[in-house]
Structure 1
Amino acid sequence: MRQHVDQRHARVLELVRQRGRLRVADLADELGVSAVTLRRDVEALAAQGRVRRTHGSVLWPGGSAEEPPAAEGDGFVIGMIVPTTNFVFADIVRGAREAVEAQGGRLVLGMTGYLDTEDPVQAGRMLAGGADGLLVAPSWFDGVPVEGQEEWLLGCGAPVVLVERWAPAGNPAAGLDRVRTDRAQGAAMAMAHFAALGHRTVTAVVQEGPHAAQITAGYRVAVETLGLDAAPGSPLAFAPDRQGHARYDAPAAHLAEAVTRHGVTAALVHSDEDAIVLVPRLQARGIAVPGDLALIAYDDEVAGMADVPLTAVAPPKRSVGALAAGLLLQRLAEQGSGSRPSPRQHVDLLPELRVRASCGALAGETPG
């Protein structure tokens, strides 16, 4: 028979009073309720001053206030949900893990394969297993939630920090903490570098996906601010999930036409993996990089390993993970101490531009 919430609260108080300290996950199992439900009970009781909440545990108010959050055999656990551990996420996860482990905790990882329906499944599994909070890069195709995709985040019953994702003003998820790269600024840095080299007519090709809107916005604003000319149809958005050679037909054709018909001398390409594929395709069309087209890639995963080493915009991947983890640990510490939470934070980290050979020529010059 399902217990009334007051009965459940009374049972929680009884067990915690008897034992002094209990893991939230163990208490949920003993009461036969979900970890999310038990967390809500504990938060309600903690707000009344009837129990104390620490990392992963609940204490009777008379317990030691100095008890460490990572006691032997009972360290706190942070869940991290990402679409993949490839590309930028490998270093983001690494940075988060290092930050969590430095504080005596453990990072557990869940992957969704870019399936948005898998996000709440992974979260539920982690919370049921005792995770104290979540770092989440949801599988939102455009990087922002649509049609209620954020609802599970708001009802999961644990502190959440968004990683490399955001929600627009007015969306409930806009009230969550988040840490991301300012990808618009990265695109603007690329355009400013081109302008400094003397290029006046530019273009861009951008993968459709979570970062496309930011990169596109930065490109367009920078082109206008710097007084540059953009090729028609620029930036070109292309689908990264097309198979085989067809994936690169549209971006290769766009770049070639931009150079031969519209006088373009510089281009931004997202991502650097795609840029590496496109360079020989352009050479096959008689367009040399950087002789005819200066090129900057975006992401800097493998850009420096290209035959013509690619100048690239490099997001601060490890720092994104570390700062997101630090922010989540701050929320857990506030929760455990019962102190008033500090203001929510939206943290944007600036990328850097790593200059290599692919943009080494001024417009109209051939590098020696």
Structure 2
Amino acid sequence: MREPVDLRRQRILAAVQARGTARVRDLADELQVSVVTVRRDVEELTREGRLRRGHGVVRSTLPAQEVPAKSTADGDRVAVVVPERHSYLTETLHGARTVLEEAGVRLALHIAPQAAGAERPLVERALADGARGLLLAPRWNTLAAEEADHGWLSALEVPTVLMERRPRRGSTPHVLDSVCSDHWYGAHLAVEHLVELGHRRIVFATRDDSPTARTLRSALAEIAGAHPLVEEWAWALSTPESGPEGPYSADETAELPVLLRKTGATAVVLHGDVDALMIVQRLAGDAVRVPRDCSVVAYDDVVAGLATPPLTAVSPPRAEVGRVAAELLLERLREGRGHAARRVELLPRLMVRGSTQRVAVEEPGPETP
């Protein structure tokens, strides 16, 4: 997933201000972009007076005494462990990295493969390498996988913050710091938007293979079930491979066009973005027009705006989750032990685009004389 230009330039600025001087090639390697891209960004930041260019190097415009003070020692290192091929967490990682670089803290990134328990050996390796703090986002495809990690997570002896992960209440790692999006509120935004447009029958097609997916499914069911204006709703897997928990009923694994016809639904909420784009394509192949025949709200907003039509989407604050998590971890590194754990929730936003519209009201035909 291509990083937004503004975010990349913020990271360049933070890296240079933290060090005073940086080589263009080093910045390109760190950001995993071309040297040409970094040069263009540096030129723009130079025009804005925020950087100074040299031959192959970039310098901060702040005097040495004004360069932001490092909040922790130069030798500090923080390990970040995230799942492989997880585009949702990419922006979260960038948000955390920006904060850590501004503080002068080295970040060691570890990518966990798609296997149960893959995070634990990576964490052990990071601690052996000298990591003094951890930012973690375990994959947790199933509840069993989550529970299997509870023991070693609760035994960690360094400051640890979970990102977009919240262990169940009363479990041993319940006391860990965590920063999450409020996915209940995101579900609320999606349902209220559709109800305000006159939709009374809604299908929810979501994944069921992560803490976010499970929270979202539960929230949608709760909100729709209690809403006085929702006449009927149904839930189904967005794709067959997105539900490792099972077993599921026939309706819960039905093709979406079939379920829409069965329920008479005029709207659908889809999680996540890639599944949403593929389902919209499938609907078009079944002569279901979006939004004329069916309004669509995606959940994640990673690539929803690139669809045709662009999809209305619930957008969790991914980068902000990373920033807040990193700030909380830095605070823990400064304070040490003895402070009450924090469970921070950040509110998503609804991005209204072209895939939702008001339900068409059929005009009465002419009266027969």
Inter-partner Cα distance in structure 1 for 2:156 and 2:276: 40
CA contact (8 A) 1:192 1:222 kept: no
**Structure 1 stretch 112-121 or stretch 180-189: which is displaced more?**
112-121
Residue-pair matches, total: 287
Asked if the contact 2:203/2:260 (under 8 Å) is kept, the reply is no
8 Å CA contact 1:178, 1:345 repeated in 2: yes
Partner of 2:286: 285
| Cα distance in 2 for residues equivalent to 1:160 and 1:254 | 41
TM-score by length of 2: 0.72
1:133 corresponds to which residue?
A: 133
Tell me, yes or no, if the aligned pair for 1:179 and 1:323 is still in contact at 8 Å.
yes
Contact 1:197 1:363 in 2 (8 A): no
Unpaired stretches in structure 1, ≥5 consecutive residues:
1-66, 243-248
How far apart are 1:167 and its partner, in Å? Answer: 1.0
Indicate yes or no: 2:208 matched with 1:223. no
CA distance in structure 2 between the aligned counterparts of 1:271 and 1:139, rounded to whole angstroms: 15
Cα deviation 1:7-27 (Å, max 9, x = unaligned): xxxxxxxxxxxxxxxxxxxxx
Kept in 2, the 8 Å contact 1:84–1:112? The answer is yes
The verdict on how the C-alpha distance between 1:214 and 1:343 changes in structure 2, with shifts beyond 3 A counting, is: same
Secondary structure of the structure 2 residue equivalent to 1:359: coil
SS of residue paired to 1:240:
helix
1:183-332 equivalences in 2 (<5 Å): 183-210=183-210, 211-227=212-228, 228-231=230-233, 233-236=234-237, 238-240=239-241, 253-332=254-333
Between 1:137-146 and 1:222-231, the stretch displaced more is: 137-146
Q: Which residue of 1 aligns with 2:343?
A: 346
Q: Secondary structure at the match of 2:87?
A: coil
Match of 1:359 among 352, 356, 360: 356
State the Cα distance separating 1:251 from its structure 2 match.
8.2
Q: How far apart are 1:258 and its partner, in Å?
A: 3.2
Alignment-derived partner of residue 105 in structure 1: 105
**1-structure distance, mates of 2:352, 2:98:** 28
Secondary structure in 2 matching 1:186: helix
Q: Per the alignment, do residues 237 and 309 of structure 1 end up closer, same or farther by CA in structure 2, a change over 3 Å counting?
A: closer
The SS at the match of 1:135 is: strand
Secondary structure of the 2:206 match is strand
CA RMSD of aligned residues (A): 2.5
Return the offset for 1:125: 1.2
Aligned in 2, Cα 1:296/1:81: closer, same or farther, shift over 3 Å?
Answer: same
User: 2-side partners of 1:289 and 1:116: how far apart?
Assistant: 38
Instruction: Find the counterpart in structure 2 of residue 150 from structure 1.
Output: 150
* Per-residue deviation, residues 223-275 of structure 1 (Å, max 9, x unmatched): 133220234x4244644369xxxxxx998954212332321001000011111
| TM-superposed deviation, 1:285 | 1.3
- The aligned residue for residue 40 of structure 1 is none
**C-alpha offsets along residues 97-149 of structure 1, whole Å, 9 cap, x if unaligned?**
01111111121110112323221111111111111100001121147864432
Q: Is the 8 A contact 1:163 1:179 kept in 2?
A: yes
Which amino acid is 2:320 matched to?
S
Question: Which protein is bigger by CA-based radius of gyration?
Answer: 1
Q: CA deviation at 1:163?
A: 0.9
Structure 2 portions without partners, runs of 5+: 1-68, 244-249, 363-369
CA 1:234–1:364 in 2, change beyond 3 Å: closer, same or farther?
farther
- Residue identity matched to 1:259: L
CA distance in 1, matches of 2:242, 2:135: 26
Amino acid paired to 2:323:
A
Post-superposition CA distance 1:1-59 (Å, at most 9, x none): xxxxxxxxxxxxxxxxxxxxxxxxxxxxxxxxxxxxxxxxxxxxxxxxxxxxxxxxxxx
Q: Which amino acid is the alignment partner of residue 352 of structure 1?
A: R
1:358 aligned counterpart, secondary structure: coil
1:208 Cα offset (Å): 1.8
Q: Secondary structure at the match of 1:170?
A: coil
Task: Provide the identity percentage.
Answer: 34
